[in-house]
Structure 1
Amino acid sequence: MSCIRFNTPAQRAQLARMAPAMKTAEEIAAQHPAPPVTESKIRRIRLLAADANPRIRASAASSYHLPDDVAEALAADPDAEVRRWLARNETVSCDLLRRLAHDDEETVRAFVAVNFSAPADAMAELAEDDSETVRGLVAWKASLREPAGASV
């Protein structure tokens, strides 16, 4: 016996009529709001950011609810993985992304280059970066914003 089911055109039409209307991502998200950010959550993020394990600190750096003072401290973290996650975070300040755009670690600068919150002046500097990878990512990101059919 086959596990593949073959519906007739009439069955497919009946299924289509019975199916609920497809909802947009915004409608679905509105039905399932995220829990509110509480002081307790912020305290947990602060604890994670101070952990001895760099992977735990990296987890804190990725939080969209990261307090500014904690982000500032993590920007100077000795572990590049922590700074990489911070550079990916689209909620950190533009000033912090500008600083990370000058990080000694190429991959940190690369993640700033693909962060859509990175300010234009930081992107201009990264376009002149010593790293071919970073320059390539800046060019790739710029190509995403060009209108369809625009010539390069």
Structure 2
Amino acid sequence: MSCIRFNTPAQREAMRRAAPTMLTAEEAAALHPMPPVTESKIRRLRVLALDANPKIRESVASSYNTPADLFATLAHDPDDGVRSCVARNEATPCDVLRELSRDSSEMVRGWVAVNYFVPEDAMARLADDESATVRSLVKWKASLADQPAGA
């Protein structure tokens, strides 16, 4: 196999001119709207949350469309990975994040620490966590808030 280019300089210039321009996130989202959340989708999430495979339950815990009561159920899942997905999901209710800030798993508490929607009282608890990793994640997140925009 050869690495020789067969495009002429004129062809390469034509390809550059024809290349799509970069879209903003808003423009891309407008071109690819998310389908509406239907009752059947919510029913599927509820069924999948009961699957024996923890990776399937993780996908439910990662969905922004997961109902609040299902987040609460998945927060008690025996698998750390499922609880971690609940902890890092921005749609997880604050009460569930508070509960997960006391989780036995350092990994779960770490994901709670970096979730931007975790309540202040849970962050204060995590700032004094027994795990140096969790405490460092709390400090790292606080340092991001201290940085000027665009830094």
Q: TM-score surpassing 0.5?
A: yes
Q: CA deviation at 1:39?
A: 0.8
Match status 1:52 vs 2:87: no
Q: Alignment identity in percent? A: 57
Q: Distance in 1 between matches of 2:23 and 2:56?
A: 36
2:4 partner amino acid: C
Q: For the residues of structure 2 that align with 1:59 and 1:148, how far apart are their CA atoms? A: 34
Unaligned stretches of 5+ residues in structure 1: none
Give the CA deviation at 1:124. 1.1
Give the number of aligned pairs.
148
1:3 and 2:10 aligned: no
Aligned residue in 2 for 1:93 = 93
Residue aligning to 1:32:
32
For residue 81 of structure 1, report the CA deviation from its aligned partner: 1.4
Residues of 2 paired with 1:51 and 1:14: CA distance?
51
SS in 2 for 1:117: coil
After superposition, where does 1:3-152 map in structure 2 within 5 Å? 3-4=4-5, 21-148=21-148
CA separation in 1, counterparts of 2:29 and 2:145? 26
**Helix, strand or coil for the counterpart of 2:44?**
helix
Q: Secondary structure at the match of 2:146?
A: coil
Q: With structure 2 as the length reference, what TM-score do the two structures score?
A: 0.85
1:21 deviates by 4.9
Runs of 4+ in structure 1 displaced over 2 angstroms?
1-8, 10-23
Task: Map Cα deviations across residues 46-96 of structure 1 (whole Å, 9 max, x no partner).
Answer: 011011222211211111111111111111111211111111111010110
Q: After TM superposition, give the deviation of residue 33 of structure 1 in Å.
A: 0.4
Give the Cα–Cα distance (whole angstroms) in 2 for the partners of residues 108 and 21 of structure 1.
40
CA-atom RMSD in angstroms = 2.3
Could you tell me which amino acid in structure 2 is paired with residue 99 of structure 1? Answer: E
**When the two structures are superposed, what TM-score results if normalisation uses the length of structure 1?**
0.84
Q: CA 1:92–1:17 in 2, change beyond 3 Å: closer, same or farther?
A: same
- How many Å separate the matches in 1 of 2:90 and 2:97? 9
